[in-house]
Amino acid sequence: MTLHQSARPQQSAELLGIGLSTLWRFAKERPDFPRPRKLSPRVTVFIVAELLAWRDAQVKEAA
């Protein structure tokens, strides 16, 4: 997976090491979490580079 790719929700959750329901909860409740993009009525993706940047920021905040 390259940084310029998008990932479906299940792939995004696996990338972050969280469950699918947690991914959707973060998207709904956390203002700092990357926003999902609707490509069509039945296709939603997240941008991989945004997810990785968010993950890295969480590690820095915890340190």
**So where are the chain's domains?**
6-62
Q: Tokens at residue 49, please?
A: 């580079």
Q: Read off the DSSP letter of residue 18.
A: -
Measured over the CA atoms of residue 52, residue 56, residue 57 and residue 58, the dihedral's sign is positive
Give the mean pLDDT of 42-59: 95
CB 9 within 8 A of CB 36: yes
Q: What tokens does 56 get?
A: 């890295």
Residue 48 backbone phi and psi in degrees, to 5: -60, -45
- Model confidence pLDDT, tens digit, residues 5-49: 999 999 999 999 999 999 999 999 999 999 999 999 999 999 999
pLDDT of amino acid 60: 80
Decide: helix, strand or coil at residue 27. helix
User: What pTM was estimated for this model as a whole?
Assistant: 0.87
